[in-house]
Amino acid sequence: MKTDEHDTDTDLGETPAMNGLGVSPGIAIGPAHVFETGMVSVPEFRIAARAVPAELERFQDAVGKSRRQVRRLRKRATGLAESAAEELGFLLEAHLQMLTGSRLVRGVEKRIGEERVNAEWAVQAEISQISKSFAEVSDPYLASRIQDIRDVGVRLVRNLTETPFHAFSNLPKGSIVIAQEITPADTAIMNPDVVRGFATQVGGAEGHTAIMARSLGLPAVLGVGDLTESVETGDTVIVDGVSGIVIVNPDAKTLAHYEWRRKELVKEERVLARLKRMPSVTRDGVDITLQANVELPIELKSALDVGAAGIGLLRSEFIYMNRDDLPSEDEQYRALCDVIEAMDGRPVTVRTLDLGGEKLSMALQDQFADSVNPALGLRAIRLSLKVRSLLEAQLSAILRASAKGPVRILLPMISSSREVRQVRQILNRLVRRLRRKRIALADPLPPLGVMIEVPGAALSADGLATVSDFFSIGTNDLIQYALAIDRGDEQVADLYDPLHPAVLRLIQFTTEAALRRQIPVNLCGEMAGDPRYTALLLGLGLRDLSMVSAAVPRIKKRIRALDIGEATQRTRHIMDQWDPGRIATMLDDFNALA
């Protein structure tokens, strides 16, 4: 789109750029806010002498609340396997002691009284002093307790600020967040009205932080080498999520260039938005269903705005994030009803908990030892089948909510038919229980489908199809496991290749198995939202794609320009190739024709 004098490289200006992975398109320009890892950003202020008793009371309330939370966690820990219960019991007992007339509590009270500072500041200062004195003693046991003290400090600050999320919500409007690492849970609490974009030192393009950024429409660049050393709070920063570039304190020419590019992107989005009411159909008349992936309820509006046919993937983790306790069945039921009602008759595919790995709930984090290899550990359906109460509460909530509109149940990280059969047994038992209580359920009951995201599941798709009502192909994990590339690790991001012939074969095999066994199949990994792959996915037989809402218009545009016959023929030729470079060229050449 060469429209005016800005569109040349020479207009870029002189300011050097830092390179990373552009994981969420768009350009954000604004003042930087640098977060230090592991610290909670707290308000700091002095208080009047007469305000001391009230501040002490506020602190005592937070101590009491923290003690109650730890006791609750300790009670829950008794339900674990023996050694885990014992280990966690010791740890939580130590936390309780730190919250009971300890040096920490006394020290904070002293600071409030003598230094007349607010309680959050006093906690932060005391924790930092205790940590320093522990670090000076060369005793490995004491050194390992530093983390416990910090954990207790963070809990106190959270309870004092009454929101765990003070850090992000207190930012000035329009800020760019700069941090070493931002977790998916952090991203979940970023308000796009306040945060304009973010950049981090760590993180890969297909990790959940990246996915969350795309869902919220926040431009983001991850994996930028020296980021936190090169930026200071207050610097003007440009985050170019398209090219994966971060620029600090740009000169006037660079700034003008990026302002112009940002406006161009906004214009382009506006043109695409006009496609909302147009059908998603190929040139030769084949209908393609385009659904939205949703991580957070605030995305429902965008899903409806872009005209998504339904929610193809509701990542239910949002109900479990950023809290110390687990949601009750009723709370889950209400959250699901809100989503189903908002979708107004469009189908909603609810995926059961995919916690573990990089997505952790605080309440559960405290209950399990860290896996040596979290991506291969106790996560997703494995965790749900181990902690049955979790799965039962969730399935029961979904079943009850199914009375409000069309719902499908999707199981993550399935690797064998046995897991599906186990879930079906539990589901049947819950249905009987709910019917006995005369609770309304959908009729027919919601279909039970499985994510195909483990290579072993893809290769045994025929067998899985005999116990599943539908398949949803999760290419994000499928690629990770097929190629042994951590999807969230920027150091190997260049090896994460959706066009690797092994990946394409797994998608092909799964799709064909579903068609053979006559069960519906869709694809909900990030590949679905990238127009580069659309022709190939349709050529492999897929007719239902689910993606981040923002991608729907672009994919629809691509579909309307495609001919299924031609796409299928080109895909056939591509599937005869073994060299990823050749595959990429053949696909890009085909895409360039449209």
**Residue ranges that bind ligand PEP, judged by CB under 6 A:** 211, 313, 315, 354, 453, 474-477, 524-525
Pick what 343 binds: ligand PEP, Mg ion, none; C-beta below 5 to 8 Å, kind-dependent: none
Assess 358 for contact with Mg ion (CB under 5 A). Answer: no
Q: Give which of 478, 520, 522 is closest to 500, Cα–Cα.
A: 478
Is residue 199 within 8 A of residue 246, CB to CB? The reply is yes
CB of 354 to ligand PEP, least distance (A): 5
Q: Which one of ligand PEP, Mg ion, none is in contact with 295 (Cβ closer than 5 to 8 A by kind)?
A: none
3 state SS of 301: helix
Q: Applying CB under 5 A, which of residues 453, 486, 490, 526 lies at the interface with Mg ion?
A: 453
The token pair at 302 is: 């965008």
Q: Closest separation between CB of residue 208 and ligand PEP, Å?
A: 6
Task: Give counts: helices (H), strands (E), the chain.
Answer: 24, 16
Does 30 interact with Mg ion (rule: CB under 5 A)? no
Residue from 220, 224, 223, 151 nearest 190 by CA: 220
Question: With binding defined as CB under 5 A, does residue 207 bind Mg ion?
Answer: no
Residue 147: count other Cβ atoms within 10 Å of its Cβ: 11
The candidate with the shortest Cα–Cα distance to 592, out of 584, 32, 333, 573, is 584
Least Å distance, CB 444 to ligand PEP, is: 26
Q: Is residue 208 annotated as part of the catalytic site, yes or no?
A: yes
3-class state of residue 367 by DSSP? coil
User: Cβ 510 to ligand PEP, closest distance in Å?
Assistant: 12
C-alpha pair distances (Å), 544 with each of 378, 429, 521: 30, 31, 7
| 337 catalytically annotated | no
Q: Is 18 in contact with 245 (CB distance < 8 Å)? A: yes
- Could you tell me the strand order of the sheet in which 195-200 lies? 17-19, 245-248, 236-240, 27-35, 175-179, 195-200, 220-222, 21-24
Residue nearest to ligand PEP (CB): 474
CB closer to ligand PEP out of 197 and 474: 474
Based on the shown chain and the rule CB under 5 A, indicate whether residue 126 belongs to the binding site for Mg ion: no
The whole-angstrom separation of Cα 545 and Cα 534 is 9
Applying CB under 5 A, does 120 fall inside the site for Mg ion?
A: no
Cβ closest to Mg ion, residue 218 vs residue 478: 478
Q: Which of 33, 95, 166, 208 is catalytic?
A: 208
The distance of closest approach from Cβ of residue 507 to ligand PEP in the complex, given in angstroms and rounded to an integer, is 11
CB atoms within 10 A of CB 182: 26
Quick check: helix, strand or coil at residue 173?
A: coil
Check residue 217 for interaction with Mg ion (CB under 5 A).
no
Q: CA-CA distances (angstroms) from residue 226 to 18, 201, 498, 575?
A: 8, 7, 28, 41
d(CA 542, CA 135): 57
Chosen from ligand PEP, Mg ion, none, partner binding at 120 (C-beta under 5 to 8 Å by type): none
Number of residue whose CB is nearest Mg ion: 477
* x/- letters, 460..499, toward Mg ion (CB under 5 A): --------------x--x----------------------
Distance of CA 425 to the CA centre of its chain: 30
Report the partner that residue 524 touches, choosing among ligand PEP, Mg ion, none (CB closer than 5 to 8 A by kind). Answer: ligand PEP
Cβ at position 21, least distance to ligand PEP in Å: 16
- Specify the residue, 194 or 375, whose C-beta has the smaller distance to ligand PEP: 375
Question: Which residue out of 95, 166, 500, 524 is catalytically annotated?
Answer: 524
Of 240 and 477, nearer to Mg ion (C-beta) is 477
Q: Applying CB under 5 A, which part among 369-377, 397-405, 452-460, 565-573 lies near Mg ion? A: 452-460
Phi first, then psi, for residue 335 (nearest 5°) are -60, -40
Rule CB under 5 A: say whether 20 interacts with Mg ion.
no
* Residues with Cβ within 8 Å of residue 588, at least 6 apart in sequence: 532
The least distance separating Mg ion from the CB of residue 525, rounded to whole angstroms, comes to 7
Token pair for 97: 């002691």
Residues at the site binding Mg ion, with contacts judged by CB under 5 A: 453, 474, 477
**Catalytic residue positions?**
208, 524
